[in-house]
A and B are shown apart, each in its own frame.
Chain A
């Protein structure tokens, strides 16, 4: 028997124009349109947003916490990617 549980959706809200959508949580809904309506009711009851994205959770591919090291370690030893790596005398302005 197939489960009658509604699929899970992830919800992203843009709090104001000019800012990125940010993940705020998830909810269950029978389809995309209902997910959007539910998201409005669950996550933006107090004008928290001007735009909402919903996406089926099973459509998201995520990195695994176990992979944290191999995934992100390569940037750890590249200090020269940061501006503070370079010594610029204090009397040189605008840099």
Chain B
């Protein structure tokens, strides 16, 4: 049943979207809009958190102190980006705890790209250049997304993401100035990551069930194919400057769907690792809460003792 009040609320929402204004947490919003945002922002947050794994594996094996410090800072940023996004998602009435459980249970997804392994240190460079490059391409328009808290997290993230892409390019450029073996490593890494990076923009427009509604709501500002094309155009001159050859752009969408559905090379490993970290951290979370409670109890006891003494 649609009441006059509901119609007014819907009209107010539609007018805000039509004016290109932002929706803020306390505004009325259609349930579908809220659900779509929760799905998208949670997926985005999970991607940042899961995304720490492929590169995190290389922190202890970084070739120099400089590279180690950089990689640590980058992986730390990904954790921060995950937290910005979970906090934006929580303004929609969900809890981070619940989102994490859904990720571990396989009920929510993360970017397909993180189901591929990082096999060499060149991959750290390629992930920065291509994977973070693709992420930036996707995220810059999201700074103008219609949901205020999501857009504001994107602004913060994009500012920090620039360092990620540049360190990756610089790493690869350094290797390209090295030996033939190092140049071959870079090319091999780019060969492996190019197509998975292009798939980060999601399925082709013809197969993307959510795109039309998301664009009508101003959540997305461009289609998957538009952003993919833009990324290819931006990357070509960078590849030329680097001296690597980009593979063709024919994408195997069956592979994409297999990976999205949890059948990627590292899918099981990524979730198992996340679950282990979550389970292993349980006692820390509980101990911190118990300590906080004991501080409160201790204060209450001191207050009551003082009152006793005053009588």
Contact = CB atoms under 8 A, between A and B. Distances in A.
Contacts of B166: 83, 85-86, 88, 95
A78 B69 contact: yes
Contacts of B241: 89, 91-92
Contacts of B169: 86, 88, 92, 95
Interface residues of A, number: 21
Nearest to B163: A83
B14 to A, nearest CB: 15
A20 B21 contact: no
A18 B22 contact: yes
Among A51, A88, A93, A95, which residue has the most Cβ atoms of chain B within 10 A?
A95
A69 interface: no
Given A14-B24, A83-B162, A95-B238, A88 B151 contact: no
Secondary structure dominating the interface of B: helix
A82 B26 contact: no
A87 B234 CA distance: 19
Contacts of A82: 163
Interface in B142-164: 148, 151-152, 160, 162-163
Interface in A26-85: 51, 78, 80-83, 85
Interface string B60-87: 0000001001100100010000000000
A92 B148 contact: no
B36 to A, nearest CB: 19
A91 B241 CA distance: 8
Among A19, A51, A78, A86, which residue has the most Cβ atoms of chain B within 10 A?
A86
Interface of B: 16, 21-24, 26, 66, 69-70, 73, 77, 148, 151-152, 160, 162-163, 165-167, 169-170, 173, 234, 237-238, 241
24 contacts: A17-B148, A20-B152, A78-B69, A78-B73, A80-B73, A80-B163, A80-B167, A81-B77, A81-B160, A81-B163, A85-B163, A85-B166, A86-B163, A86-B166, A86-B170, A87-B170, A88-B169, A88-B170, A92-B238, A92-B241, A93-B237, A94-B234, A95-B169, A95-B238
Given A17-B16, A81-B163, A86-B163, 13 more contacts: A17-B24, A18-B21, A18-B22, A18-B152, A19-B148, A82-B163, A83-B166, A86-B167, A88-B166, A89-B241, A92-B169, A94-B238, A95-B169
For the complex of A and B, 5 pairs with smallest distance between CB atoms: A18-B22, A86-B166, A83-B162, A17-B22, A94-B234
Interface of A: 14, 17-20, 51, 78, 80-83, 85-89, 91-95
